[in-house]
Chains A and B, each alone.
Chain A
């Protein structure tokens, strides 16, 4: 489900603030730059509010955010809904004991880590990132949380690139986005 389809009046303002940068990080890619959204206090607040309205009062105790742009959207949501914030990081950044989940890139593999003890079995969790493309990173994030017994309620992103079919890679987990970009 996406708010774009719901046509909440705030969506148009949010969409207009996202800058598309051609050929980054390599030729042919149209990069969805959310930093320009962050420069508009009202549009940034509306973005957070749309997620908070959806998730408040739903007994979600964990918001997991994916490094690094998930760190921008996750904490404000967590604070508003009264959940803890759990950073999911690239290897060797978290100082304590971690569990790791490997995932595939276009070329090669990468790894996502979470601190042991951050999340208890049975907790209800959201996974937040700025954008879903192929879904590989979100998939790894969900696996980390499920491995420690958390229930991933939904994945939430500002932007979806539906042509890359990331939604299908989430093994049936719901995905909520504010905007789609083709």
Chain B
């Protein structure tokens, strides 16, 4: 499911609070800037509420957020639903023992890390990021959690770029987004 079939009335204000910046980080890319959403206190509150309404009371004990914009949306959701927050980071940022997952970029590869012991086998988890494009980063996050026996219930993003087909890259994992941008 993408977003509500009858669109929740809060969605249009959230969508209009997102700024599109052409040609960032390189020519041809229309960058979806969520920092303007964070300046609109009601729209930011609504964004969090929409996720909390979906995930509260569903026995989810882990919210994993992807560095760095996943750190903005993940913790408020985790706090509201009573889950722990687990940061998924670029290499060499987490100080303790980590497990690493390599993933493909357009050119080359990158690595995502998670602390060993942050999650237990059998826990139910959400993964949060601001946006899903190709799905490569979310896919790496799913793998990290599944490698330690966690059940990933859903991936949740504010924005989806459907033309990049990230949803398909997640395989059998459901994806929930608030705004679809073409």
Residues of A at under 8 Å CB distance from B?
19, 21, 24-25, 31, 33, 35, 38-41, 44-45, 48, 67-69, 71-73, 75-76, 78-79, 82-87, 89, 92-96, 115, 118
Q: How far is the CB of B150 from chain A (nearest CB, A)?
A: 13
Q: Chain A residues with Cβ under 8 A from B102's Cβ?
A: none
Check A85–B84 contact: CB distance below 8 A.
Answer: no
Does B161 sit at the interface, judged by CB under 8 A?
no
Q: Chain B residues with Cβ under 8 A from A78's Cβ?
A: 38, 41, 44
Check B33–A96 contact: CB distance below 8 A.
Answer: yes
- Kindly identify which residue among B33, B83, B95 contacts A31, using a CB–CB cutoff of 8 Å: B95
Check A35–B115 contact: CB distance below 8 A.
Answer: yes
Check B79–A39 contact: CB distance below 8 A.
Answer: no
Determine the main DSSP class of A at the interface with B.
mixed
Q: How far is the CB of B94 from chain A (nearest CB, A)?
A: 7
Interface string of B1-39 (1 = CB under 8 A from A): 000000000000000000101001100000101010011
Check A87–B84 contact: CB distance below 8 A.
Answer: no
Check A19–B96 contact: CB distance below 8 A.
Answer: yes
A-B contacts, 16 of them at CB < 8 A, read A25-B95, A41-B83, A44-B78, A44-B84, A67-B68, A68-B87, A69-B71, A72-B75, A76-B76, A87-B38, A89-B68, A93-B68, A95-B21, A95-B31, A96-B19, A115-B35
Check B95–A21 contact: CB distance below 8 A.
Answer: yes
Does B45 sit at the interface, judged by CB under 8 A?
yes
Q: How far is the CB of B49 from chain A (nearest CB, A)?
A: 10
| Bound: A137/B144 CA distance, A | 32
Does B170 sit at the interface, judged by CB under 8 A?
no
Check B72–A85 contact: CB distance below 8 A.
Answer: yes
- Among B67, B83, B95: residue with most chain A CB under 10 A: B95
Given the contacts A41-B82, A86-B38, A96-B21, A79 and B96 also touching, CB distance less than 8 Å? no
Check B41–A38 contact: CB distance below 8 A.
Answer: no
Interface string of B78-91 (1 = CB under 8 A from A): 11001111110100
Q: Chain A residues with Cβ under 8 A from B89's Cβ?
A: 68
Does B40 sit at the interface, judged by CB under 8 A?
yes
Q: Chain B residues with Cβ under 8 A from A94's Cβ?
A: 35
Q: How far is the CB of B18 from chain A (nearest CB, A)?
A: 11
| Bound: A48/B80 CA distance, A | 12
Check A38–B72 contact: CB distance below 8 A.
Answer: no
Which partner residue on chain B sits nearest A19 by CB separation?
B96
- Among B21, B71, B96: residue with most chain A CB under 10 A: B71
Given the contacts A72-B71, A76-B75, A76-B76, A40 and B35 also touching, CB distance less than 8 Å? no
Does B92 sit at the interface, judged by CB under 8 A?
yes
| Bound: A68/B94 CA distance, A | 12
